[in-house]
Amino acid sequence: MSKDVYILGIESSCDETSVAIVKNGSEDIATVVLSQMDTHANYGGVVPEIASRMHVENITMVIEECLTKANMTMDDITAIAVTYGPGLIGSLLVGVVAAETLAYVYNKPLVPVHHIAGHIYANNLTKKMEFPLIALVVSGGHTELVYMKDNYCFEKIGGTLDDAVGEAYDKVARIIKVPYPGGPLVDKMSYDGQDNYSLPTPLADGSYNFSFSGLKSAVINLVHNEEQRGHEINKADLACSFQQRVVDILAKKTMMALENYDVKNLIIAGGVAANSGIRTRLKELCEEKNYNLTIPEFRYCTDNATMIAAAGYFAYLKGRTSGLDLKAKANTVLE
């Protein structure tokens, strides 16, 4: 039997300092996530300078805590995987430098992982991914449809032309005065409301691209107009109407991709994969069409290092290692 592979993953692309150890790309041995959310909530969004400083303060402690939790030492680790981009450059740098240092000191291979590859491979922690597949990646920074013929072969077939879906959720939350990050609360509120507001369906064309800025602006204008008229907004109804439009378009284009690419496996990835509207709708549609749907557990939807270590395993098997001169990249395409 071949030897087990233990990947230590590091994720610091935004406001979570996270370190995890994953066995053979699928088994979570230990995960530590230190979220800075409470700090950034005071500012209504992530403040990059504060985020990178907090990563610097915490990274060593989080690495140590993860090893302790796993009851392992660096000698037990096969390779080190790290998010090199995309994300906030100052935040990414902290994780990359930590990974390079560990790789140098302990003489371990260094495996660069694209943040979106991490979100996609979060699914492998739930169920072994089967190919070919379509991945719907929905997060605070991304909205993409990705076709994967095989492990670690990514073909982006569509993406957002402006705002990411999570970003639109957070902005809508802000306008209806829901605290940051508003996505989960808007999702929750939508269940107490009715689809009573007339909002546009964004970019309902035959492409695999998305656009959420028009829908977001429509919500902002509606709220301002109602305020000027002295009318009260029904927040639950507005959340419901917004969520309906978002779910409609995401589901429509995802199903279109599955059909046109003749693919039977769908995975959802990213923070917005936690959205109950999206989960429910795609579950129903996939049952109807007999497609296999995998959605990560909630704790693996938002940023974490477990997904980075899982993706890192497959990148490592493909020989996608890097020298110790690995650079953090704020913008980088998934390939």
Structure token digits, residue 74: 């660096």
Q: Which three-class secondary structure state does DSSP give residue 203?
A: coil
Residue 141 binds ligand KG4, judged by CB under 6 A: yes
The helix or strand, by DSSP H or E, that contains position 18, with its residue range, turns out to be: strand 16-23
Nearer to Zn ion, 284 or 297 (CB): 297
Nearer to ligand KG4, 119 or 253 (CB): 119
Q: Which of 17, 123, 124, 139 binds ligand KG4 (CB under 6 A)?
A: 139
Own/partner contacts of 153-157, CB < 8 Å, gap of 24 or more, are 154/116, 154/117, 154/120, 154/334, 154/335, 156/333, 156/334, 157/208, 157/257, 157/261
Nearer to Zn ion, 78 or 139 (CB): 139
| Stretch of residues binding ligand KG4 (CB under 6 A), selected from 57-65, 144-152, 176-184, 205-213 | 176-184
Q: Work out how close the CB of 260 gets to ligand KG4 at its nearest, in angstroms, rounded to a whole number.
A: 27
| Stretch of residues binding ligand KG4 (CB under 6 A), selected from 26-34, 182-190, 215-223, 307-315 | 182-190
Q: Work out how close the CB of 234 gets to ligand KG4 at its nearest, in angstroms, rounded to a whole number.
A: 19
Residue 86 binds ligand KG4, judged by CB under 6 A: no
Q: Which of 275, 294, 306, 322 binds ligand KG4 (CB under 6 A)?
A: 275
| CB half-sphere exposure, 213, CA atoms < 13 A | 5
Contact 281, 253 (CB under 8 A): no
Structure token digits, residue 96: 């990359």
Nearer to Zn ion, 139 or 211 (CB): 139
**Residue 275 binding: pick among Zn ion, ligand KG4, none (C-beta 5-8 Å cut-off by kind):** ligand KG4
CA distance 135 to 254: 8
| CB half-sphere exposure, 22, CA atoms < 13 A | 31
Nearer to ligand KG4, 55 or 108 (CB): 55
**Residue 202 binding: pick among Zn ion, ligand KG4, none (C-beta 5-8 Å cut-off by kind):** none
Interface residues with Zn ion (CB under 5 A)?
139, 303
**Residue 312 binding: pick among Zn ion, ligand KG4, none (C-beta 5-8 Å cut-off by kind):** none
DSSP string for residues in 130-186: -SSEEEEEESSS-EEEEEESSTT--EEEEEBSS--HHHHHHHHHHHTTPPSS-HHHH
Residue 140 binds ligand KG4, judged by CB under 6 A: yes
| Stretch of residues binding ligand KG4 (CB under 6 A), selected from 28-36, 103-111, 138-146, 312-320 | 138-146
**Residue 211 binding: pick among ligand KG4, Zn ion, none (C-beta 5-8 Å cut-off by kind):** none
Q: Which of 90, 184, 296, 312 binds ligand KG4 (CB under 6 A)?
A: 184
Q: Work out how close the CB of 114 gets to Zn ion at its nearest, in angstroms, rounded to a whole number.
A: 11
Please say whether the dihedral angle defined by the alpha carbons of residues 88, 93, 94 and 99, taken in this order, is positive or negative.
positive
Residue 118 binds ligand KG4, judged by CB under 6 A: no
| CB half-sphere exposure, 257, CA atoms < 13 A | 27
Contact 178, 192 (CB under 8 A): no
CA distance 20 to 28: 8
Nearer to Zn ion, 67 or 311 (CB): 311
Q: Work out how close the CB of 30 gets to ligand KG4 at its nearest, in angstroms, rounded to a whole number.
A: 20
Structure token digits, residue 326: 């690995």
Q: Which of residues 146-175 bind ligand KG4 (CB under 6 A)?
A: 166, 169-170
